[in-house]
Every structure is written in structure tokens, then in C-alpha cells.
Amino acid sequence: MDCIQPIETQGATYRYEEDGQQAVDHVSLSIPKGSMIAVLGHNGSGKSTLAKLMNALYLPTEGRVLVCGLDTALEENLWDVRRHAGMVFQNPDNQIVATVVREDVAFGLENLGVPQPEMLPRIDEALLAVRMTEYAAAAPHMLSGGQKQRVAVAGVLAMQPDVMILDEATAMLDPSGREEVFSTVRKLNREKSITVVWITHFMEEAALCDRVLVLHHGAIAMDGTPREVFSQVDELKKLGLDVPPMAELAEMLRQGGLSLPAGILTVDDMVKELKACL
Ligand SMILES: Nc1ncnc2c1ncn2[C@@H]1O[C@H](COP(=O)(O)OP(=O)(O)O)[C@@H](O)[C@H]1O
Ligand SMILES: [Mg+2]
């Protein structure tokens, strides 16, 4: 089935029973096919709750969430929703279920009831896509954090989802692991047109996405291209967020007298503008 609209939320709201607060508060959002959207927001702003609404781990207490046009609240859609929208979580150790990498990637496929002969090529393809082929027979606990997260990504990828939701998938990794996982997912997004929802608190990752969404008290506070969002420095600071390191450095250099243009977000931008400037 063709998925034209991977994620659409219509006034989606979620209230935890315990405290009665709206963790996600009337969020209306539509994520076009093939895009990679970063979701930012300080702790408790509702990012994880929104992520869980996007693959029917939670059902909205008000409003609707549609995954590839399927209403997540309808019980008969549950398995299709989970197949279309795969999740990767923060802690790589909590996501590994098998003692061999290949079996770990197979786990989701077994749950979906994919026939054995079809499973093997899908597993190989997924491991290749995250550059973990040579570890297929390895024990997951021997891998680095970045490698474990790539195995988790392969597990989702093998299910051939239309959208991948990664909830702070790089938060527990060292800088090189973070880069590994981010660039792997960005590449899958570009080359396989997989739609990605990338929840993060690293501004430099958000700067490399197509679109940036900022949540505050469960509602959308900002929504635009990285350049649009990160040029609003005061607004970001009010919401408890930083600007990307290169944007901050550019601002310092400007105050030191260099005439750098607005919109510098990445190291590449900085190098280019400094060359032009010197
Ligand atoms: N299991 C839970 N029970 C009750 N309240 C929760 C639960 N999980 C999160 N919350 C509350 O919901 C709000 C949003 O949390 P969360 O979605 O985890 O935000 P984020 O991922 O941005 O840190 C917070 O106020 C948090 O305290
Ligand atoms: Mg969270």
C-alpha cells in the first residue's frame, strides 16, 4: 500500500491519568513523505509522549493520529500502524532481545509473521544499510553504543516501515557514536525516502534536518526550517533551548567585528563564510 501521508495529527492530545496534565496538547501536524523532521523541547515538553502517539503505543485522549492514513485509535489498524511506523528508543541496551545480532534484527519480523525465506534477505539488506554486515553473527553486548543503536535501526528497517521515529536515539552515545547513528539515519532518509521523526536535544543534529519543530508544554511553539527556527535566538532561549554551536560561534565572531551573514548552522557553513570573509 502506498503511503502518501506518513504522519498526520489532528488536535492530538494526551493526558496521563496520574496527574491529569496534558502532556501533548492539541497538536496538529502533518509530516510529508520523505522528510526528516527534528523535534526539540526541554525535558517534559511532551516529545516522548508525542512519539508514542505516532505508533499507537498511546492512543490520543482527544483528537486523532493518522499513520499512513490509518487512524491509530481503531483496533483493527494496530498492527498496520506498527508496521508503517517503527520506533527506536534512547537506551540501546533495553532494545536488544537476542544474543546474536542477526536474530535481534529478525525479532520484529517474526512478530509480524514474515515467512522464513523472506526474512533472511530482509535481515541482510537491513544490516548492510546500517553497515553492520560484518557483525551479523556477533553478540550484541560486545558492540559499542553506536553499533547497538545501528542494530536497533536495522531491526526497524527490516520491517520496511514508511516512517521511523527515533526518541533521543543518540542521547546515551559518545560524539562519534552519535555521528554514526545520525548519519546512518539521514542517509536512509535520503536514499530510501523513509520519513524520519528525529527527537533530540542536540541542536547540531536538528540543524541538519529538513524541518524543526519545538514543543513547549505539549504544544507546538515553533515550526520551520532550521534556518528559520535557529535565527530566533531569543525565542529559543525563552523556551529553554540553545542555538547550534556554530550559530553561537558565528554570533560571537560578529560581536568581535567579523561581518558574517545570518543563517550559519553547520561547520560547513562556517568554513564557507569564513573563507569568503577573510
Ligand atoms: N508515565 C507518565 N505518567 C505521568 N506523567 C507522565 C508520564 N510520562 C511523562 N509524563 C509527564 O508528561 C509530560 C511530558 O513528558 P514527556 O513526553 O516524557 O516529555 P519529554 O520527552 O519532552 O521529556 C511531563 O510533564 C511528564 O512529567
Ligand atoms: Mg523524552
Distance between CA atoms of 27 and 212, rounded to whole angstroms? 15
Q: Which residue segment(s) compose the domain that 67 sits in?
A: 7-243
Percentage of the chain with pLDDT > 90? 86
Q: Which of 21-30, 71-80, 230-239 has the lowest mean pLDDT?
A: 230-239
Query: Ligand 1 within 6 A of 46 CB?
Result: yes
Ligand 1 pocket, 43 CB below 6 A?
yes
Residue 213, in any domain of the structure: yes
- Is position 145 within any domain? yes
Does the pLDDT value for residue 27 go beyond 80?
yes
Average the pLDDT over 222-231 and give the result.
94
CA distances from 85 to 49, 160, 175 (A): 15, 9, 27
65, 68, 204 from 5: Cα distances, Å: 12, 5, 27
| Structure confidence at residue 180 (pLDDT) | 94
Contact 83, 144 (CB under 8 A): no
Residue 66 lies in a domain: yes
Decide whether any atom of ligand 1 lies within 6 Å of the 18 Cβ. yes
- Number of domains the chain contains: 1
**Residues 241-259, mean pLDDT to the nearest whole number:** 90
Residue at 1 is within a domain:
no
Atom 2 of ligand 1: nearest residue by CA position: 16
DSSP 134: G
CB 38 within 8 A of CB 20: no
Question: CB neighbours of 65 closer than 8 A, spacing ≥ 6?
Answer: 7, 8, 9, 10, 12, 53, 54, 56, 59, 71, 72, 73
Q: Is residue 98 part of a domain?
A: yes
Ligand 1, atom 18: closest residue by C-alpha: 48
Q: Is the pLDDT of residue 28 over 70?
A: yes
Confidence of residue 19 (pLDDT cuts 50, 70, 90): confident
Mean pLDDT of 157-173: 96
Report yes or no: 23 and 14 within 8 Å, Cβ to Cβ: yes
Across 50-169, the runs of DSSP E, i.e. the strands, are: 62-67, 70-71, 85-88, 163-167
The pLDDT value recorded for residue 278 is 79
- Helices then strands, counting H and E runs in the chain, come out as 12, 10
Residue 220 lies in a domain: yes
Q: Can you tell me whether residue 7 is helix, strand or coil?
A: strand
- Identify the pLDDT of residue 1: 59
Look at residue 264 and tell me if it is in a domain: no
200 in contact with ligand 1, CB cutoff 6 A? no
All cell numbers assigned to 42: 526541554
| Residue 36 CA, ligand 2 centroid: distance in Å | 18
Closest listed residue to residue 34, CA positions, set 200, 201, 195: 195
pLDDT given for residue 20 in this prediction: 78
Q: What is the pTM of this model?
A: 0.94
pLDDT of amino acid 100: 97
- Is 82 a residue whose pLDDT tops 90? yes
Contacts of residue 250, defined as CB under 8 A and 6 or more positions apart, other chains included, come to 260, 264, 270, 273
- Residue 37 β-bridge partners: 197, 211
Q: Residue 211 belongs to a domain with what CATH number?
A: 3.40.50.300
pLDDT band at residue 151 under the 50/70/90 scheme: very high
**Model confidence at 87: pLDDT above 90:** yes
260 domain-assigned:
no
Q: What is the mean pLDDT of the chain?
A: 94
Q: Which atom of ligand 1 is nearest to the CA of 41?
A: 22
58 lines ligand 1 (CB under 6 A): no
